[in-house]
């Protein structure tokens, strides 16, 4: 199964954009009730999201995530109450996920699950305390993904360059994979004018172990896909690896040597399959975008 590669944020107080975002090439649409909505607009956003989701086809609803406000805050509790009140939303058969910001403990995840039932939770780690608790949060019931909220994390740590986030990024990647979760998505790139910077950042993130990224504007979808796309050499090498191992297996051998002289074994299969799955998925998405 190919993981989601692009998740597009849409402000919860902009209902005119909901269907348009869903019709685009992003894998997920995140209806944002948190940072994208001013304090005075939260009630209206909550109502708009609730009403739209209530009328939405269940198959389409499965591509929607909702970012609520922090667990335990008044706004967060109101968000959960609104979602819980929608018939058919709570549980696995409803939303793709609920995105919970500023998570610092498994107890905060449990609070969301208690309100909504067994809905998949995407936990955002945005503080030093959240990073320190990453392993426990990743293993909490119903957590389906981890991600970093890097703007808040930079502020909490006093970090002024990307170098200061390298350890935190690696920590979250390791915590997610150790818990059997998919590779985390990268945080949003906020410089809408710097497309080349976005692509380069995605390539660097992919090299670290991230897979996919959140977007804050539809025009970022294609650059994100471009940045995470395996290059032609990787695709060819993945195919050669699988072909060589298949031939070796047919001959009763566990280890094979490719035509280029590379020794390969079954431990490499999952990586090669992932490269080919991501390659195929991105080709489909880019075809939809162009």
- Which residue would you say has higher pLDDT here, 267 or 234? 234
Q: Which of 20-29, 140-149, 155-164, 258-267 has the lowest mean pLDDT?
A: 258-267
Neighbours of 144 (CB within 10 A): 14
Q: Both 20 and 133 in a single domain?
A: yes
For residue 12, how far is the Cα from the chain centroid? 18
**1: in domain:** no
Domain boundary among 205, 228, 251: 228
Q: Both 86 and 203 in a single domain?
A: yes
Structure tokens at 155: 């502020």
Which pLDDT band holds residue 211 (cuts at 50, 70, 90)? very high
The residues, ordered by sequence, that sit 6+ positions from 112 with a Cβ below 8 Å of its Cβ are 68, 71, 80, 98, 100, 119, 121, 142
Question: Highest mean pLDDT: which of 57-61, 188-192, 258-262, 277-281?
Answer: 188-192
Q: What is the pLDDT of residue 290?
A: 43
Q: Which long-range contacts (CB under 8 A, 24 or more apart) does 261-267 make?
A: 262/237
**270: in domain:** yes
Q: What is the mean pLDDT of residues 272-286?
A: 87
Q: Both 57 and 87 in a single domain?
A: yes
Q: Both 272 and 139 in a single domain?
A: no
pLDDT digits (tens, 9 = 90+) for 12-37: 999 999 999 999 989 999 999 999 99
Which pLDDT band holds residue 88 (cuts at 50, 70, 90)? low
Domain boundary among 228, 256, 278: 228
Domain boundary among 228, 251, 279: 228
Question: Whose CA is closest to 95, among 116, 124, 65?
Answer: 65
Phi, psi of 45 (to 5 degrees): -65, -45
For residue 274, how far is the Cα from the chain centroid? 16
Q: What is the pLDDT of residue 244?
A: 81
Q: Both 249 and 223 in a single domain?
A: no
Is the pTM for the entire model greater than 0.85?
Answer: yes
pLDDT digits (tens, 9 = 90+) for 214-257: 999 999 999 999 999 999 999 998 898 888 888 777 777 767 77
pLDDT digits (tens, 9 = 90+) for 129-152: 999 999 999 999 999 999 999 999
Structure tokens at 22: 């869903």
pLDDT digits (tens, 9 = 90+) for 36-77: 999 999 999 999 999 999 889 888 999 999 999 999 999 999
CATH at residue 223: 3.20.20.60
Boundaries of domain holding 270: 232-289
Q: Both 215 and 146 in a single domain?
A: yes
Q: Both 215 and 238 in a single domain?
A: no
- Which residue would you say has higher pLDDT here, 168 or 263? 168
Residue position matching structure tokens 């294609």: 222
Neighbours of 180 (CB within 10 A): 8
Q: What is the pLDDT of residue 92?
A: 43
pLDDT digits (tens, 9 = 90+) for 108-133: 999 999 999 889 999 999 999 999 99
Distances (CA, A) of 231 to 81, 114, 279: 46, 44, 9
Q: How many domains does the chain have?
A: 2
Q: What is the mean pLDDT of residues 153-162?
A: 94
Q: What is the pLDDT of residue 113?
A: 93
Q: Are 30 and 10 in contact (CB under 8 A)?
A: yes
Q: Both 91 and 15 in a single domain?
A: yes
């Amino acid at each position: 199964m190919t993981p989601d590669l692009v998740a597009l944020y849409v402000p919860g107080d902009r209902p005119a954009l909901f269907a348009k975002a869903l019709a685009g090439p992003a894998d997920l649409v995140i209806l944002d009730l948190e940072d994208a909505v001013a304090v005075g607009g939260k009630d209206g956003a909550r109502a708009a999201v609730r009403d739209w989701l209530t009328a939405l086809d269940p198959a389409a609803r499965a591509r929607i995530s909702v970012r609520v406000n922090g667990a335990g805050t008044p706004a967060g509790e109101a968000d959960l109450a609104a979602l819980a009140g929608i018939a058919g939303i709570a549980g696995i058969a409803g939303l793709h996920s609920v995105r919970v910001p500023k998570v610092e403990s498994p107890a905060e995840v449990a609070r969301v699950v208690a309100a909504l039932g067994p809905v998949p939770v995407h936990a955002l780690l945005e503080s030093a305390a959240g990073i320190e608790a990453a392993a426990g949060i990743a293993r909490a019931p119903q957590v389906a993904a981890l991600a970093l909220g890097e703007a808040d994390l930079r502020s909490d740590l006093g970090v002024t360059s990307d170098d200061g986030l390298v350890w935190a990024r690696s920590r979250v990647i390791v915590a997610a994979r150790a818990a059997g979760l998919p590779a985390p998505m990268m945080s949003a790139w906020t410089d809408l004018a710097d497309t080349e910077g976005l692509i380069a950042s995605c390539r660097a993130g992919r090299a670290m172990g991230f897979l996919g990224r959140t977007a804050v504007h539809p025009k970022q979808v294609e650059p994100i896909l471009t940045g995470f796309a395996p290059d032609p050499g990787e695709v060819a090498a993945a195919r050669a690896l699988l072909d060589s191992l298949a031939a070796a297996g047919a001959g009763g051998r566990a280890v094979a040597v490719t035509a280029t002289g590379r020794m390969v074994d079954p431990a490499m299969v999952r990586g090669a399959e992932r490269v080919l799955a991501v390659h195929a998925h991105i080709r489909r998405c880019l075809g939809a975008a162009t």
